[in-house]
Amino acid sequence: MELTKNQTQQVKKYLDKKMVYYIDIRVEVLDHIISEIESTMLTEKDFDHSFNKATEKWNVLLQNSSSIYLGYCYVKPLLIINKMKKYGKPHAIKIWSIFILMLLSIGFNDSISLNVSTLIADIANITFQTVSYALSLLIILGYVHIYSTKQKTSFRFLYETQVLAVVLFPFMISGSFITKHDGLDLLKTMILVVSLFMFQLAIKLYKKHFTLLKKYSF
């Protein structure tokens, strides 16, 4: 039995109440709930009873939750958190591993001794600085394009919360990567490496966002 327009609207209001706003997840959950209600109504006929029966299960899946991999400050329905972790967790582990390795290295020595000429050191410093600012600029441009679509997806949320902070990194590593003692500054190098990993994540999220918009014809 197919739901009426008003009955479908009631399901949508339920998703609004549960804060399921991201279109990729919203469309999927909406289809599942409607299918479950229609299936139940084949035998029980009553919409309200079928609706309550279907939402009992979804109340558990859509209860508020958070994750260390996304940041405990971001509270979302459990189903959304679990989907986002698939993308956030691997990159979080990579970045934490880099930080730990670099911090351990810095604990022994905050720079790596290099025997290079002043010219090479200057070229290296300019290259590293250029790369860091270029990454930040590309990330900003990517977000401007995503934001201009006016559509909320789980990938846009991840881009906003996990990637955008990278634009501040160049200000954290201003100055020379090659120190006056001809050593490679490990802290600045660590931040640059993290920036590269975050840029990789930015590309993936950017593509996923626009693939979804194309799929749903937005």
Q: Write out pLDDT tens, residues 1-46.
A: 688 889 999 999 999 999 999 999 999 999 999 999 988 888 877 8
From residue 113, how far is each of 119, 134, 175 by CA, in Å?
16, 27, 18
**Phi-psi region at 22: left, alpha or beta (left = phi > 0; alpha = psi -120 to 50):** beta
Predicted local distance difference test score (pLDDT) of residue 79: 92
Predicted local distance difference test score (pLDDT) of residue 100: 83
Between 47-61 and 5-17, two packed helices, what is the crossing angle to 10 degrees? 30
Place of tokens 């994540």: 201
Closest C-alpha among 72, 64, 98 to residue 193? 98
pLDDT tens for 129-162 read: 888 889 999 999 999 999 999 999 999 999 999 8
pTM strictly above 0.85: no
